């Protein structure tokens, strides 16, 4: 479904495109397609784009002006005139759902009256859209969490969470790409690195990608970790274009 967007200007070099204010996969697909179109057609005129759930910020390069940009972008009345110009991917993310890694797994099980195996099943079934990257470098904001797994953020955040930890915060799930404080409920950990300053691009995921979690045991976690250290592991992925 195609959705119309509105336009706001900020300062002298920033333009914000707004779609209907909903967290919706169809709306976000419009945002992703517009981002791809702008990045492909205004490479010399823009310095950065930043995606949100239902918005797209475009930072222009002087001397290119907002008026020039608006005169061109306003000709695109709906997203149907914008075609996807790049590839997105579906990544299979291995996760060990063990209480050594999922520090809040038992609490979630008790509060939701769900067995651990049911939690794992509900968490690994969906294909989650990546709405945008934020909070930490490489941190994916995902949609699609099963409502039975909704869990409020912790009242007292942890001061240190290990990189790769998989958590639930409210109606979302996500993966901590770096060691950091955080208040999400931890249910497992992946050995996969989502961010590295030593590779290009440094973030594994981008807006428009999809991920699906795969349950592994501690032995497989150790095997994958060792393979990653030896640079012999390749994450499972496939092209995903809506």
CA distance 55 to 201: 23
All CATH 3.30.1360.40 domain ranges in the chain, comma separated: 6-81
CB-based contacts of 146, cutoff 8 Å, min separation 6: 122, 123, 125, 126
Contact of 102 with 188, CB cutoff 8 Å: yes
Beta strand 88-96 with 210-216: parallel, antiparallel or unpaired?
parallel
What is residue 109's three-state secondary structure? helix
| pLDDT tens per residue across span 93-139 | 999 999 999 999 999 999 999 999 999 999 999 999 999 898 888 99
Judge: domain 6-81, CATH 3.20.20.70: no
| pLDDT tens per residue across span 195-220 | 988 888 899 999 889 999 999 999 99
All CATH 2.40.100.10 domain ranges in the chain, comma separated: 88-240
Q: The tokens 């030896």 sit on which residue?
A: 230
**Residue 241 pLDDT > 90, yes or no?**
no
What is residue 23's three-state secondary structure? coil
How many C-beta neighbours within 10 Å does residue 167 have? 25
Mean pLDDT of 51-79: 84
First vs last C-alpha separation in the chain = 11
| pLDDT tens per residue across span 151-176 | 999 999 999 999 999 999 999 999 99
How many C-beta neighbours within 10 Å does residue 133 have? 22
**Residue 77 pLDDT > 70, yes or no?**
no
Closest CA to 188 of 204, 172, 175: 175
Contact of 105 with 99, CB cutoff 8 Å: yes
9: which 2 tokens?
């200007």
CA distance 45 to 148: 46
Contact of 118 with 176, CB cutoff 8 Å: no
Mean pLDDT of 58-64: 92
The residue count for the chain: 242
| pLDDT tens per residue across span 2-38 | 778 888 998 889 999 999 998 888 898 888 888 888 9
Closest CA to 112 of 147, 145, 143: 147
157: which 2 tokens?
């955040």
Positive or negative, the CA dihedral 74, 76, 79, 84 is negative
Q: Per-residue DSSP letters for 206-232?
A: -TT-EEEEEEE-HHHHHHHHHHHHTT-
Judge: domain 88-240, CATH 3.40.50.300: no
């Amino acid at each position: 479904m195609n959705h119309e967007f509105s336009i706001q200007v900020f300062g002298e070099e920033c333009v914000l495109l707004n779609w209907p204010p909903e967290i919706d996969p169809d709306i976000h697909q419009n945002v992703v397609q517009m981002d791809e179109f702008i990045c492909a057609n205004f490479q010399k005129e823009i310095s950065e784009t930043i995606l949100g759930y239902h918005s797209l910020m475009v930072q222009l390069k002087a001397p290119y002006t907002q008026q020039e940009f608006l005169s061109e972008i306003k000709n695109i009345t709906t997203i149907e005139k914008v075609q996807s110009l790049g590839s997105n991917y579906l990544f299979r993310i291995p996760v060990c759902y063990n209480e050594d890694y999922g520090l809040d797994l038992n609490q979630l099980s008790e509060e939701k009256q769900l067995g651990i195996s049911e939690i794992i099943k509900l968490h690994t079934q969906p294909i989650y859209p990546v709405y945008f990257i934020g909070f930490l470098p490489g941190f994916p904001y995902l949609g699609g969490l099963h409502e039975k797994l909704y869990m409020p953020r912790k009242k007292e955040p942890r001061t240190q969470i290990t990189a790769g930890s998989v958590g639930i915060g409210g109606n979302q799930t996500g993966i901590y790409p770096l060691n950091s404080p955080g208040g999400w409920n931890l249910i497992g950990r992946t050995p996969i690195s989502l961010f590295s300053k030593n590779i290009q691009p440094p973030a594994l995921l981008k807006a428009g990608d999809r991920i699906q979690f795969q349950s592994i045991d501690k032995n497989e976690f150790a095997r994958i970790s060792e393979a990653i250290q030896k640079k012999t592991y390749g994450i499972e992925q496939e092209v995903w274009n809506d």
